Chain A
Amino acid sequence: MSLPVETLAELREIAARYPEARSGLLPMLHLVQSVEGRVTAEGIETCADILGITAAEVSGVATFYTMYKRRPVGDYHVGVCTNTLCAVMGGDAIFERLKDHLDVGNDELTERRPEDKCTVSLEHVECNAACDYAPVMMVNWEFMDNMTPESAVQLVDDLRAGTEIHSTRGPRVVTWREAERVLAGFPDDLADEGPAAGAPSLVGLGIARTNGWTAPPASADAGSGRTADSKEEAVEQADTSRAETETKQEDSDA
């Protein structure tokens, strides 16, 4: 076991944040990635030892979540959203262009050319909750909004050249390992960088302001808004058939 002792201490520190240590596993694996560059067999064993569970159990978790990588990723991990909306809005074209430009396939790492300062890995990602900025890319899980094939090519070229890049709605983009460390719960000092919101996030607010629209004043009274008095009624109003099943089952138990 050759993870640095400081890392072992930090792994234990993560586990100690939770009422039950195993809850720390997801952030612990993020930390393993920040140190090892991926989830290694050694990292899995170390987490298992600390948590008192088997390596198979840790392995089951490490292979379930897509952010955990078993092969090395680049200094900058570039994601292109190709879920339907972004794909239609141009994500597919961007992804094709980048594969071609970088000469890699999905979830692959670029070769480091003599002139490169940094490596880049490419992956198509699922919806990242920024559809109003479509097509969207991510670099080390920072938003790169409203991309085009051209801006995407420029972006990866800049990343490989080691040029400092800023997220369109966030801070200076840190390396993938640094990002993984933040996700493990060890903050860097970048929370205050970047804007509060991009333009699309504010578009409705702007229209409201322009038109003088606001929510009603606090004095408005429409009586009780209670929409359902019984669990059953609530369930019938709720959208999921799942919820319906639940309550009926509960009732049948009674």
Chain B
Amino acid sequence: MTLTSDSGATERTDLVTLTIDGVQVSVPKDTLVIRAAEQIGVQVPRFCDHPLLAPVGACRQCLVDIPDAGNGRGFPKPQASCTLPVAEGMVVNTQATSEVADKAQQGIMEFLLINHPLDCPVCDKGGECPLQNQAMSNGRGETRFEGYKRTFPKPINLSPQVLLDRERCIVCQRCTRFAEEIPGDPFIALVERGAMQQIGIAEDAPFLSYFAGNVIQICPVGALTSEDYRFRSRPFDLVSTPGVAEHDSCGSAIRVDHRRGKVMRRLAGNDPEVNEEWITDKDRFAFHYATESDRLTYPQVRDRVEDGGDGRLRPASWPEAFAVAARGLQAAGATGVLTGGRITAEDGFAYSKFARVALGTNDIDFRSRPLSAEETAFLAAEVVLRSSVTYADLEQASTVVLAGLEPEDEAGMVFLRLRKATRHGTTGVLAIAPGMTRGLAKLNARLLRTAPGAEAGALESLVEHARHGVDKNSIILVGERLATSPGALAAAVTAAARTGARLAWVPRRAGDRGAVETGCLPNLLPGGRPVADPVARVDVASAWGVDHLPDAPGRDADAIVAALLAGELGGLVIGGVDPDDTADPAATRAAIEAASFVVALELRETDVTRGADVVFPVAPVVDKAGTFVTWEGRPRSFEQVFASPSSLPDLRILAGIAEEMGRPLGFRTVAEARAQMEEIGPWDGDRATLEGLEPATPSQPGQAGGDFALSTWKLLVDNGSMQDGDKAYRATGRAPVARLSQAAYDAHGPTVTLTGDRGSVTIPAEPADLADDVVWVPANSFGNGVLADLASPGSRVTVTKGADQ
């Protein structure tokens, strides 16, 4: 990387030179003095200051002496360095060189401590507490205060998860400023006044924000704690390992704090290019799934009745399980591979190679949710290898179009970055959605009201209507839900091409994009190589040292299910798939049942493992190294936290089976897999195109159905199995309700019964900004979810008045 001389010149003119503690420093214009001081290695103590929140100047801890404000005159009194921008020629003396500043800071610290309890030995924050640390570095040794301290009954629940010990609070307002500025959820606020001022919630209105946990992390004292971690451990007993969050495609940096082989808590990592310093509550609190009691801890094989066994799964050694799996798959004949969307890129690479090399098939798909051939083509033509949009780009865009994507629920960090962009920049958000949601309102989004399934038309209209403001400085973000909206992805591509806007696909799961890149698709080989391209196949085959790769077009997940049911496929390798997530849960279950041999790779016991012939316990992310690829196409590698012998990474299991099959993958470890991936590299030949693509069709076109189009997506906090294990976290989720237009609500509410082609559900309703013929329900917040219990993708439902509750 080299800087051009131009950019150097620009930087120089924007620099301001000042003197801090006798040291001259040049910093960009508008830099705050407190941060300029950091440049020369001086840490001015602070509490309310946070680089990602607007300056407030409330705690007054960061007072410094300014003998010259840059105009030859000084300030008569110490100034708060967190609100004061630098000026050319300014002279700043911090506590390091100024007795005035030092005394001012000690005075403030003394005030902060008079009402702060001396319970550091039992406080969760003790040992990592900015107040404790800075009291030691910038405070008096002994207190002069002999009066009575402010006390409160303790603690209060701001939400089921977040607790507040008010007497510890120094009212720096970081939490309330976060809530208002960052996610736009000001459900906590300063209440009362003066010495009794405190953080509070309104009656019966808890702090239910998807991002609430961040306030615990940025609290500079031990006032905010989580139900999950409170009283569980001491910071100095914890070992911290950096990680990458596994719950969405955002790739958030996290810090895993663990003790004696157990994760105690997770915190946001600091990555300015990705998640800045924030994570969703799902990323923070949903990690107990890996230690649930149904976690698989040893391989199992089924003693088949036809082989004289009792038909039950029994524990097996790893070598036996590899051998049984290999024999079974070879005997089963044609086999399909369903990987699920939670795999690391390395594991995806292993599945991809396993399918082609060990099984000789292109019947592989990572999509364990509704999909379409249109999407398959779109991923190969427009997604793989592309990384033209980044988080930072969202802040620069004139307009960001959202289609089939509700960022607050489906991509939390995209939501926060868009909110930042819309609050501070000139970015506008245009949502192609059935109605305004709270999440969209917080982005100040304009709504292009679009019934579910009609997104293609809306996307096409972007080109024609200048008022939408879509131009070459715009970005179109499409969600995975567009897969089942006929023509929508193709229309998005066309709209991008004709307006010059950039296009990015934002899937829901952490492994989705990596699976695309590594070829867990029927039409793609690793590195974006089209299966249909003989040169690409030869390229991979030679890299892998095999004669040839299968050239028959593969089956997608739906086709694999159909083929199993039809007996065209006999074997199935399935990992991390919940049948209820798939387009047709009943069919998927039947397909697993119908398969002659099923190898399941799973974390916990599920319906799939219970029906499998060989079950391998796979390592959760905490037990393995890996890479998730973000929606941007940015690889996010992480190392293993624990070495647990009871489970193995998917790739090690697949390698074991392949070796037993006599078709080794050539790697057994993550490092070896990475080396092979590196060696193969990205495809530089022609990529697939969308030419001649047939638009997806609704799964049941023209069906009679009901009067209401069904809109649905998964809420951030829902019944997903990777959110099991933390009741407090689950309790922060939004209650499952059906959302209807006011008229429809008036006609059918307050409780409604929805009936679709797969069943009926009765749930509370609430009026919402929707057309009179659209109903929205959360996809996985009741029963077995919408696809299992209510309706097939794209189908319509009827709404009737529900029974009185």
Q: Using a CB–CB distance below 8 Å, which chain A residues touch chain B? A: 41, 44-45, 48, 53-60, 63-64, 66, 241, 244-245, 248-249, 251-253
Contact = CB atoms under 8 A, between A and B. Distances in A.
A248 B193 CA distance: 31
A48 B186 CA distance: 12
Q: Name the interface size band of chain B.
A: 20 to 34
A118 B71 CA distance: 65
Interface stretch (B82-90, B538-546, B593-601): B82-90
Nearest to A232: B73
B189 interface: yes
Contacts of B205: 45, 54-56
Contact of B203 (A41, A54, A241, A245): A41
Give the secondary structure class of B's interface.
loop
Interface of B: 69-71, 73, 75-77, 79, 84-85, 87, 90, 186-193, 200-205, 207
Contacts of A241: 76-77
B220 to A, nearest CB: 21
A45 B202 contact: yes
A59 B199 CA distance: 11
Contact of A248 (B69, B187, B188, B203): B69
Given A59-B191, A63-B191, A252-B70, 19 more contacts: A41-B203, A48-B202, A54-B189, A54-B205, A55-B205, A56-B188, A56-B207, A57-B189, A59-B189, A59-B201, A64-B192, A64-B193, A244-B76, A245-B75, A245-B79, A248-B73, A248-B75, A252-B90, A253-B87
A204 B497 CA distance: 82
Nearest to B188: A56
A142 B79 CA distance: 43
Contacts of A55: 187, 202-203, 205
B87 A56 contact: no
A253 B85 contact: yes
Contacts of B73: 248, 251
B84 A59 contact: no
B440 to A, nearest CB: 14
B71 A56 contact: no
Nearest to A44: B202
| Residue from the set A48, A55, A58, A66 with the largest chain B CB neighbour count within 10 Å | A55
Contacts of B77: 241, 245
A252 to B, nearest CB: 4
Contacts of A59: 189, 191, 200-203
Contacts of A60: 189-191, 200
B562 to A, nearest CB: 50
A248 B90 CA distance: 12
Q: Which 7 A-B pairs have the closest CB atoms?
A: A55-B202, A60-B189, A252-B69, A252-B87, A56-B189, A41-B203, A59-B202
Contacts of B193: 63-64, 66
A66 B192 CA distance: 10
Contacts of A245: 75, 77, 79
5 contacts: A56-B188, A59-B200, A60-B190, A60-B191, A66-B193
B200 A54 contact: no
B613 to A, nearest CB: 54
Contacts of A57: 186, 189
A52 B471 CA distance: 32
A154 B73 CA distance: 61
Contact of A252 (B71, B200, B201, B207): B71
A249 B190 CA distance: 29
Given A57-B186, A252-B69, A63 B203 contact: no
Contacts of A244: 76
Nearest to B85: A253
A63 B202 contact: no
Contact of B71 (A41, A58, A64, A248): A248
Given A56-B189, A63-B191, A241-B76, A249 B69 contact: yes
A36 to B, nearest CB: 14
Nearest to A65: B193
Contact of B186 (A44, A54, A63, A249): A54
A56 B85 contact: no
A244 B75 CA distance: 9
Given A54-B186, A56-B205, A251 B71 contact: yes
Contacts of A44: 202-203
Contacts of A54: 186-187, 189, 202, 205
A44 B204 CA distance: 11
A58 B85 contact: no
Nearest to A58: B202
A231 B403 CA distance: 54
Nearest to A245: B75
Nearest to B185: A54
Contacts of B69: 248-249, 251-252
